Chain A
Amino acid sequence: MSNINPHKEKQKLEKKMKSGVTKKQPISERRRFFLDIARSVGLATLGGLTWSAYVSEVSASKLTLRPPGALKEEDFLSTCIKCGMCVEACPFDTLSLAKPGDNKPLGTPYFIPRDIPCYMCPDIPCVPVCPTGALDILSVSGENKKLDINKADMGVAIVDQTNCIAFWGIQCDACYRACPLLGEAITIEYTKNKRTGKHAFMKPVVNSDVCTGCGLCEKACVTEKASIFILPREIALGHAGDYYIKGWDKDDEKRLENATSEITTTERSKNKAVDTLNSGLEDLLK
């Protein structure tokens, strides 16, 4: 403020007034107070929106494969503190923390099975070291709280039937042999090869209820780009919903215990179904 020359300022002001510009009203304390508040709130909103947009964008990568025992993705994102202790615990260097440029939620652990799959250590060293429980010991423990890596759910293997050479009729069971749950998670289905008339297709079939998503099959796959690969379960699998049930399977009925139904009432459904059926064509034409 000290370097403003008051004389010069006055001259400037007079000049302005002559040129028709009205003298500025000084802003009252009260007005300044409200303006300051408005400005702060506005800037905070601006910052907040930009920040939220960025964060929800960077955390939206759904194709991330997590270590064994990871919570559901949305819970995982709020619970993982990004310390990297699981990464350090892994003896195979399977896991890495997402770096800027990896296009994965920043700082969270993930693995790429085609590079290094999960080798399914029976003692699961990556899980107990997690300080926040983002890797949940209970989810990979069987009875007696004994660790059981076969309960892990990192994803599920999907076979690309167009490019898998076993589906061409060439004999290959690399994925089947590589599977740590051989004969359970991947089975070989024999069908007749009609093209040759004397050979068999030996097609790998993934049992998605058993598959842990370790990715050893993806690593072992002989095609240039793997024809069997791991996807997160919620990406790869469908969901039958409550409308369909395996009538022959008693356990499947349990699935419907908490089912809710939704009843829509239209003009026509106010009548009984039998009446509508008996009423002939004119009711349908209404």
Chain B
Amino acid sequence: MKNFLYKHRFLFLRRFTQTLIMFLYVIANVYGINILMGNLSSSLFLGLIPLSDPYAVTQMFFAGAILTFDVIIGALIILTFYAIVGGRVFCSWVCPVNMITDLANYLRRVLGFNQIQKKQPASRNIRYWAIVLSLIISVILGITAFEFISPISMIHRGIIFGLGLGWAAMLVIFLFDLFVLKNGWCGHFCPLGGFYSLVGKFSLIRVNHDSDKCTACMKCKEVCPEMQVLHMVAKETKPVLSGECTNCGRCIEVCDDDALIFTLRNKKIGEENENN
């Protein structure tokens, strides 16, 4: 049991932070306990600190909205935070959609869908195209283009303010990821994930790979939702530098050889071995 917990330590921590954040939003709305008011689009922490989704604010800017001091400060706080800890920490530690897509991904693995459908017919760069498109549409139509279709917002708003038909959005993402495309939504289409990939490009906290310890079992690649970021596994000792890594830590958990750990960006592991 202890080993099981250790082998899923980051997973449980992530579920904890994801649930905790949603819980704080819900109690603010339902009971008026205002630790964290609002939702993931924009919130007020402790009744004082504004927090805003920088991608939503970017779209507002492109849609021609006059930005207030509060949203600019809020967006800068969030932007700075994720630029330091890793942009897509949002995706795996905060975003509630992650629980849905992780479930689809898990079922894919255990039921064997990954074996019958090996080809991934879509490019992971679609998300960057989606960012560009969202900004163009925001300019042309004068409204925040992604915010009006975002299943992420539908779901976190749904959890906090009432779901309506938002369950359908959940189901669509789940079925899409399970039957159409592995990591389809989070790993290919989501422009918010793409946005945070760009934000976290130079972030400090990284997964580091030590090829000397690696036994090339490839468990990490199997479990990774963005497996292209682990291209160095069993080849080179170097940190995972791609901004597309979500810092979810699943690779670290499944590794039986301690070949993967969280480190700071510039810290070299096994440096002396390399020099030999």
Residues of A within 8 A of B (CB): 40, 43-44, 47-48, 51-52, 54-56, 58-59, 74-75, 77-79, 81-85, 87-88, 96-97, 99-102, 105-107, 129, 131-133
Contact = CB atoms under 8 A, between A and B. Distances in A.
B168 A85 contact: no
Contact of B166 (A43, A51, A99): A99
Contacts of B39: 82-84
Given A83-B43, A131-B42, A101 B164 contact: yes
Contacts of A84: 29, 38-39, 157, 160-161
Contact of A78 (B42, B65, B169): B65
A96 B141 contact: no
B133 A59 contact: no
Interface of B: 28-29, 32, 37-39, 41-44, 50, 52-53, 56-57, 60, 63-68, 70-71, 74, 129-130, 132-134, 136-138, 140-145, 147-149, 153-154, 157-158, 160-166, 168-169
Contacts of B64: 78
Contact of B144 (A78, A96, A102, A133): A78
A78 B44 contact: no
Contact of B133 (A48, A79, A132): A48
Contacts of A77: 63, 142-144
Nearest to A40: B129
Nearest to B144: A78
A184 to B, nearest CB: 33
**In the A-B complex, the 8 residue pairs with the closest CB atoms:** A99-B164, A83-B42, A101-B165, A78-B63, A83-B38, A100-B165, A79-B65, A78-B65
Contacts, number: 143
A88 B141 contact: no
B72 to A, nearest CB: 10
Contact of A100 (B29, B43, B133, B168): B168
29 contacts: A43-B129, A44-B129, A47-B130, A47-B133, A48-B137, A52-B137, A55-B143, A58-B148, A59-B141, A59-B148, A75-B65, A77-B63, A77-B144, A78-B64, A78-B144, A81-B42, A81-B147, A83-B42, A84-B29, A84-B157, A84-B160, A84-B161, A88-B32, A88-B38, A100-B168, A106-B148, A107-B41, A107-B148, A131-B42
Contacts of B158: 99
B173 to A, nearest CB: 13
A51 B66 contact: no
- Of the listed residues A55, A56, A129, the one surrounded by the most CB atoms of chain B closer than 10 A to its CB is A55
Contacts of B74: 131
B164 A100 contact: yes
Contacts of A43: 129
